[in-house]
Chain A
C-alpha cells in the first residue's frame, strides 16, 4: 500500500493514513466524510478532482481508489448522502464546499447517486467544472428503476437490522461474477452491515432520485468527457448509460463482467478513465 505524501481527512473512520487533523471552524454544508488526498510529487496547485461517490460512500474500497487518483492530481471527495433536501440544495452544498476551499473550477469523477448529483451541479453551475466523468449513473429513472428505488425506500423506512439492509443491497450492487468469488459475500455483508446508516438521509436520497429526470436539460452539455458503466449493472442498466452518453455526446466505456459497484469491482478502470479522458491536470 502506498501512502500519499500528504493526506488530510475528516470524518472517515476507515482510513489509516491521517496525517493532519481536520480543520475546525464554521459548520460546513457537508456533514459527512470529506476526504482530501494529494499524492507524492503532486502540486496542490493543480486542478482538483472532485469525487462524488454513491450512497454509502465506498468505505474500504474508497480509500484505495482515492489514493490511486491522487497520484496525478489533488483529490477532494464529498460524501453525497451526508446532506439532504432538494437537488438545488444539494448542489448548493457542494458549491459552498468548493467556495470554502477556494476551488473555482474542478474536474469531476462521480458515480451512482453521486453521478446524479454531478449532473444537477453541472447544469446549475457549468462554469465551475472543467471535465466530468460519470459512472454507473443515468439521466433519468424509468419505471423499472423507480420501482426499485421505491422498494429500497420502503426497506429503509422499516426497522430492519443494518445487516438485513446490507443483504438487500448486495445482490443489486455487485455483478454475479464478483459475488461468486470465495468469501466475498461474507465480507461485504460484514462491511456493509457496519456502515452507519442515516435512514432519513437515505430516504431523502431515494425521494430525490424518484424525481430525477434530466434528459432534456443534459442534451448538448459539453463538459462530460466519458460515461462508464458495468455491463452487469442492475441499478442503472447499460441501456441507460448508452442513453446518457448519447445525450452528453461523450464516449461510453462498457466494463464487461462488472456490476454497479465499479469503485470496488473495477477501481483501476475508473483511474484509467480519468487519466485517459481528463488529461493531465493543469494549474
Chain B
C-alpha cells in the first residue's frame, strides 16, 4: 500500500481547512503503524492535535471507502496523555490498529514533534475508538 498524498487524504476525509489536520502520509519501511504528517499551524493546542490524530485514525479505518458512503465518528478517547503546551508547528502521528469489532475500530495513536519518523519528542498519546455512523 503506497502512502497517501494530500489529494487522496482530502478525498477520504470530510474535513476542510482549517479543520483538516493531516497533510500527508509518510513513507515508512517495515511493519508497525502508519505515520502521518500534520498540517503546519502557527500554534497548536493539545486538543487540536488529538483531533488531528483521530483524523489519521479515520484514514486507517476507512481504507479505500468513499467518505460519502462510510461516515466514521469518534466514540471515545481513552488513556489520553497530553502536554501542558506545544512548541512545534507540525507533528508526526503514528497510528497502530488495536482491534476492530463489528462497526468499531480502535487505534493507539502517538504524536511526536516535527516531521521525523521516530526522533521527535513524544508529546501526545491516546486510544481512539471510531464507529461507523448508524452502526
Assess A14 versus B84: contact at CB under 8 Å? Given A184-B47, A190-B74. Answer: no
Report the bound CA distance from A184 to B85 in whole Å. 15
B72 at the interface (CB under 8 A from A): no
**Contact assessment for B48 and A184 in the assembled complex, using a CB-CB cutoff below 8 Å:** yes
**Nearest CB in chain A: distance from B121 CB, A:** 8
A197 at the interface (CB under 8 A from B): no
**Nearest CB in chain B: distance from A49 CB, A:** 16
**Contact assessment for A190 and B76 in the assembled complex, using a CB-CB cutoff below 8 Å:** yes
**Nearest CB in chain A: distance from B112 CB, A:** 10
A280 at the interface (CB under 8 A from B): no
Q: For chains A and B in complex, what number of residue pairs have CB atoms within 8 angstroms?
A: 80
Contacts of A271 in B (CB 8 A): 84
Majority secondary structure, B binding face = mixed
A283 at the interface (CB under 8 A from B): no
B7 at the interface (CB under 8 A from A): no
Assess A188 versus B47: contact at CB under 8 Å? Given A1-B83, A60-B80. Answer: yes
A143 at the interface (CB under 8 A from B): no
Report the bound CA distance from A178 to B45 in whole Å. 9
**Contact assessment for A1 and B77 in the assembled complex, using a CB-CB cutoff below 8 Å:** no
**Nearest CB in chain B: distance from A135 CB, A:** 15
Assess A14 versus B21: contact at CB under 8 Å? Given A183-B48, A187-B51. Answer: no
Assess A183 versus B79: contact at CB under 8 Å? Given A1-B122, A16-B125, A68-B84. Answer: no
> What are 11 A-B residue pairs whose CB atoms fall within 8 Å in the complex?
A1-B124, A60-B46, A68-B84, A182-B19, A183-B51, A184-B51, A186-B51, A187-B50, A187-B51, A187-B54, A194-B78
